[in-house]
Chains A and B, each alone.
Chain A
Amino acid sequence: MEGMLFHAFVYLAAAVVAVPVAHRLGLGSVLGYLIAGILIGPVLGLVGAETKDIQQVAEFGVVLMLFLVGLELEPKLLWQMRGRLLGLGGLQVGLTALAIAALAFSLGLYWGLGLAVGLVFAMSSTAIVIQTLSEKGLTKTEGGRASFAVLLFQDISVIAVLALIPFLAQPEPLALAAWLSAAAGDNSAAQGAAGLVAGLPNWGYALVVLGAVATVVLGGHYLSRPLFRYIAESRLREVFTASALLLVVGTALLMTLVGLSPALGTFLAGVILATSEFRHELRSDIEPFKGILMGIFFITVGAGIDLPLLFGDFATLLGLTLGVMGLKALVLLALARLFRLRAGDRWLFALSLAQAGEFGFVLLGFCVQNGVVPTGLARTLSLVVALSMLLTPALFILYDRLIAPRLRNGKGPAPDTIEEEGTVVIAGIGRFGQIVNRLLVAAGIETVVLDHRADQIDLLRKLGIKSYYGDASRPDLLHAAGLARARLFIVAIDDRDRAVEMVDYCRRTYPQVRILARAYDVGHLYLLKQAGADLAVREVFDTSLGLGAAALRELGMHPYKVERMTRAFRRHEAAGLAGMYDLWDQDPDIARNLALQARIREHVGTLQDALNSDRMQLHDRTERGWTPPSRGFSREPD
């Protein structure tokens, strides 16, 4: 217990110290974590043997990350990506691996060894790249999307590579047995896998895998929603969070049992849930866990660096690293050209994916296990992988400082569609929000709708209205709904205090977003204005006026005269409200605010005047229009 607390303390302290500093310096959080790891590991020696155990936990961060990535990707989108995924991704892995293998072969290494090393280096770091791209807001750019497609392909291809590696061993007597059994097709695909599927014949294994995938897809689609709805109705936040974690852990476990990549499984689960109403809620629940675990993962990478070996032959290692990154970048640039990315995106794509990645470590370990790569070489290569990951933030800085500014000076900002998140966020989709939303959607405006009543959301979804479950007064959920990029925030909830809190929060956190709010009455309207709403409208004002107008028409008044009177009434009301705000603002407590009292009395007084002594006052004002010439008017020549 003490030991665990101590290590937790050391890890967290290192992160808390190093990451903000790195962030301030513009290095990005990933480099901060890596530096923190180097500090507490090889430099200070505070942590050591247990990094391996912690790494396993931390790798779960990658799993969570892929779940979140999946959550952002609707199946439709994935299908649209298929060309890039297979073309760009497949060519990147294939060409990079072959180039490195050819190089190794020309140096006299065994071809299998060369190819294995090539495959190790073909992988990039999903963790670093996705984290950095989203930190810099580049995920939605063309370059970001292309990078993502390649990373996704790499993650998927890891499974195939794991299956391939045993065949690459040099046929020595010792390795021969493994090779033979592998070549005989005996459970080859499940080599790296544990548990359930050991000893199954290939067709059985295939069936189990299919079953597992089907469980994730069907379960995710049909079972998870009623479950989440049931939990949501209980209104227990932490239970919802627990069930979100349960879903991810369960999926990961299932995948591990059948020998598939847990990251891939949860990615799939994410994609399945991407269209569900719980998407934003799930995202804001899982994100903090992912953030911390990913951080720890990067720290373990830093802590695991073998400093003596590194500095023993630093020049060679650095040369190797730069060579690998250069080669990868060349392949990427060529592909970017082939797939017609624009100049800026091309550089982003090539620089962001030039490093080797965390799967490199996994594959190297597996290679050693299978006698494909000797232990000594593997340790050196591990360092190359780590070093290249360490250099990645520098490449992003290069892009930020050198390439991005030049592009901006050139042809103006890239016309990417960053507005995808929906330009309007609507909180509250009851009777009020629904009408607002219907109008906006009919006008072709993208909206994101949030409500905390799961049954309501369910019903709306059945009617084909895109809406999400979640308590819209929670900052993280508002963030997940894309408020940072929204043009408008519409507060249409019926909870007065929360509405004011929400407006206040949004005004302080997202000053650029315009806020329109539903007010209960004049007092509430003033409170909303004070909190920073750009516009607040009383919820029943228009309808009441409409009914009043209908009454006048019922009484036989000419409809157009009624129309003119209601317009005059509206103007009178608006002027009155505007006139009283300043007084109210000085002291909202009417009991103490004498000036406001006087003003309200005056307001009531003029209203009574208008109604009793001079009924025609309102009337006269509207009557100003269309005044005919005087009866005797005729234009005399001058």
Chain B
Amino acid sequence: MSNAPGSTKVDEAVGRRRILVLFAHPSLERSEVNGPLAAATARVEGVTLVDLYAEYPTFDFNVDLEQERLLAHDALCFMYPLYWYSTPAILKEWQDLVLERGFAYDAAAPALQGKVFFNALTAGGPEAAYCAAGYNHLTIRELLSPLEQMSRLCGMVFLPPFALFGARTAVEDGRLAGHIADWVRVLEALRDHRLDLAAAAPRTKLNADLDAIIRGA
């Protein structure tokens, strides 16, 4: 298992990383944080934003198209509000259909080998609840372990989630703008190979101390 971030070939590539963000929010018109976050994402150069619920309102995936998209990018991000400690349903269905045998795994050349995978999520609960002593008992990273294992099985480099806690009060507390700015910074750093994957990999969440994992500009 060559999962050590520093040794992947994508990280050493000279060109920019192309980032695919799969966005899932089933009631966007009521969203307070994911909507603006997605809008900001769409404006970052080199990032492809796909609104899954808009493109596949009946979950009727075009598997070929989705696989082509994966091949055309170097990093994959799931972006969503945390629903029952997991992704909204469509992202699960997407995995079930797109990550086919012979394509993503059990293949001579697994298509996703070496690509970066991570989650950008928002959670209603406060950060303090997401630890052994809190009422959720598990950290957010622990809760995402099925996704972490999915990416490992597909040969991808897993990064901890970029998470916003207390999402229901983020707007009234004035935390949203800063969060979006951080998010754009992370995307740009990942794109330009300035994000230190090795330093980021062991963290519980990606956005704890960005200065420590982002190089330069």
**Residue A311 is within 8 A (CB to CB) of chain B in the complex:** no
A-chain residues with CB within 8 Å of residue B96 when the two chains form the complex: 625-626
Which residues between 587 and 638 of chain A lie within 8 Å of chain B, taking CB atoms?
Answer: 624-630, 633, 635, 637-638
Min CB gap A624→B, angstroms: 7
Tell which of B58, B60, B106 touches A630, judged by Cβ atoms closer than 8 Å: B106
Do A629 and B97 touch (CB < 8 A)? no
In the complex, A438 has a CB within 8 A of chain B? no
B97→A626 contact, CB < 8 A: yes
Check B63–A625 contact: CB distance below 8 A. Answer: yes
Q: Are B2 and A638 in touch, CB under 8 angstroms?
A: yes
- Say whether B55 faces chain A, with CB atoms less than 8 Å apart: no
Chain A residue at minimal CB-CB distance from B98? A625
Is B142 close to A, CB under 8 A? no
The total of Cβ contacts below 8 Å across the A-B interface reads 25
Number of residues in A with C-beta < 8 Å to the partner?
12
Q: Do A635 and B153 touch across chains, with their CB atoms under 8 A apart?
A: yes
| Residue A337 at the chain B interface, CB threshold 8 Å | no
B132: Cβ under 8 A from any A Cβ: no
**Nearest Cβ distance between residue A435 and chain B, in whole angstroms?**
19
A498 at the interface (CB under 8 A from B): no
> Are A629 and B106 in contact, CB atoms less than 8 angstroms apart?
yes
Interchain CA distance A638-B58 in the complex, whole Å: 39
Q: Mark out the residues of chain A between 525 and 540 whose CB falls within 8 Å of any chain B CB in the assembled complex.
A: none
B1 proximal to A (CB < 8 A): yes
Chain B: number of interface residues, binned into ranges: 10 to 19
Q: A235 on the interface (CB 8 Å rule)? A: no
Give which listed residue, A567, A626, A628, A635, contacts B60 with CB less than 8 A.
A567
Q: Give Cα A638–Cα B7 distance, bound, in whole angstroms.
A: 14
CA distance A638 to B4 in the complex (A): 13
Q: A624 and B60: CB pair below 8 A?
A: no
Tell me, in angstroms, the Cα distance from A52 to B109 when the chains sit together.
94
Chain B residue at minimal CB-CB distance from A633: B106
Residue B101 CB within 8 A of the other chain: yes
Q: Which residues of B contact A625 (CB under 8 A)?
A: 61, 63, 96-97
Q: Nearest A residue to B96 by beta-carbon distance? A: A626
Specify which chain B residues have a CB less than 8 angstroms from the CB of A629 in the assembled complex. 101, 105-106
B100 in contact (CB, < 8 A): yes
User: B63 touching A635 by the CB < 8 A rule?
Assistant: no
User: Which residues on the A side are within 8 Å of B2 (C-beta)?
Assistant: 638
Of residues 106 to 155 in B, which have CB atoms within 8 Å of A's CB atoms? 106, 153
Could you list some 16 contacts between A and B, CB below 8 A? A567-B58, A624-B63, A624-B100, A625-B61, A625-B63, A625-B96, A627-B100, A629-B101, A629-B105, A629-B106, A630-B106, A633-B106, A635-B105, A635-B153, A637-B1, A638-B2
Assuming A567-B58, A625-B97, A627-B101, what are 20 further A-B pairs, CB within 8 angstroms? A567-B60, A624-B63, A624-B100, A625-B61, A625-B63, A625-B96, A626-B96, A626-B97, A627-B100, A628-B101, A629-B101, A629-B106, A630-B101, A630-B106, A633-B101, A633-B106, A635-B153, A637-B1, A638-B1, A638-B2
The residues of A with any CB-CB pair to B shorter than 8 Å are: 567, 624-630, 633, 635, 637-638
Which residues of B approach A to under 8 Å, CB–CB? 1-2, 58, 60-61, 63, 96-97, 100-101, 105-106, 153
